[in-house]
């Protein structure tokens, strides 16, 4: 019995460096395409849309730990129309626009090139508001586009599909000024250089 335990211990010790090599190197520059579900909201009014865009980043690996910086530029199809806001027949339309993000992430390799991570950073989103009063006179109609600063936090998983390509999925929450926030579930495909 003792020789089987000793053999298992030796096999486990010898297999550990091979397992570490199978994880690959997650250090370096990366670029990715992003698409997903976007749910911006303001004052308890929600809009559902599709998020799409690009991201770049640079990761540093130390053992099983990975630390990185990243940036994204995305847009959204999310918009909401509300009728009868101030007058019968009027219409208010709010559209989510481009979103810029810069932040960092930290994670752990859990085996075979799979990275589990958390992220946080600064985000800036554009929101466009259109109002039509519903009358022939357009004196009260207006359009306003504003940029909102905020913070983003999220978590995700990245899965290696070859030596340089990967798939990822993540959930993130962004909280902006003026009571605007958004929930997103995003998928991505990327390459590491």
Token representation of residue 7: 């053999």
pLDDT in tens, the chain (193 residues): 344 333 333 333 333 333 333 446 789 999 999 999 999 887 777 889 999 999 999 999 999 999 999 999 999 998 877 777 677 777 877 788 899 999 999 999 998 789 999 999 999 999 887 888 777 677 778 788 889 999 999 999 999 998 899 999 999 999 999 888 999 999 999 999 9
Residue 8 lies in a domain: no
Token representation of residue 54: 């690009």
pLDDT tens column, 118-135: 999 999 999 887 888 777
The domain total for the chain is 1
Phi, psi of 42 (to 5 degrees): -145, 130
Residue 154 lies in a domain: yes
Residue 72 lies in a domain: yes
The owner of tokens 């009571």 is 179
Question: Cα(177)–Cα(148) distance, rounded to whole angstroms?
Answer: 6
Residue 47 lies in a domain: yes
One-letter-per-residue 3-state SS of 128-179: EEEEECCCCCCCCCEEEEEEEEEEEEEEEEEEECCCCEEEEEEEEEEEEHHH
Residue 149 lies in a domain: yes
Residue 170 lies in a domain: yes
- Give how far the C-alpha of residue 65 lies from the chain's centroid of Cα atoms, to the nearest Å: 20
Question: Cα(68)–Cα(148) distance, rounded to whole angstroms?
Answer: 25
Residue 7 lies in a domain: no
Residue 50 domain boundaries: 25-192
Question: Cα(150)–Cα(147) distance, rounded to whole angstroms?
Answer: 10
Kindly write down the DSSP assignment for every residue of the chain, as one continuous string: -HHHHHHHHHHHHHHHHHHHHHT----EEEEEEEEEEEEEEETTEE--EEEEEEEEEEEEEETTEEEEEEEEEEEE--EEEEESSSSTT-EEEEEEEEEEEEEEEEEEEEETTEEEEEEEEEEEEEEEEEEE-SSS--TT-EEEEEEEEEEEEEEEEEEE-SSSEEEEEEEEEEEEGGGEEEEEEEEEEEEE-
Write down the pTM of the prediction: 0.78
Residue 155 lies in a domain: yes
Token representation of residue 23: 């994880």
The domain spanning residue 123 has which CATH number? Answer: 2.40.160.20
């Amino acid at each position: 019995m003792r020789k089987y335990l000793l053999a298992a211990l030796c096999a486990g010790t010898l297999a550990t460096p091979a397992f570490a090599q199978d994880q690959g190197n997650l250090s370096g520059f990366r670029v990715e395409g992003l698409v997903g579900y976007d749910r911006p909201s303001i004052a308890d009014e929600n809009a559902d849309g599709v998020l799409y865009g690009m991201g770049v980043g640079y990761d540093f690996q130390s053992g099983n730990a990975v630390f990185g910086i990243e940036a994204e530029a995305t847009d959204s199809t999310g918009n909401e129309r509300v009728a009868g806001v101030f007058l019968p027949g009027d219409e208010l339309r709010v559209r989510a626009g481009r979103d810029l993000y810069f932040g960092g992430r930290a994670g752990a390799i859990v085996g075979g090139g799979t990275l589990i991570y958390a992220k946080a950073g600064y985000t800036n989103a554009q929101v466009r508001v259109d109002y039509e009063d519903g009358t022939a006179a357009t004196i009260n109609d207006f359009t306003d586009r504003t940029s909102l600063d905020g913070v983003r936090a999220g978590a995700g998983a990245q899965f290696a599909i070859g030596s340089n390509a990967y798939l990822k999925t993540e959930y993130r929450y962004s909280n902006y000024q003026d009571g605007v926030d958004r929930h997103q579930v995003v998928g991505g495909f990327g390459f590491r250089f």
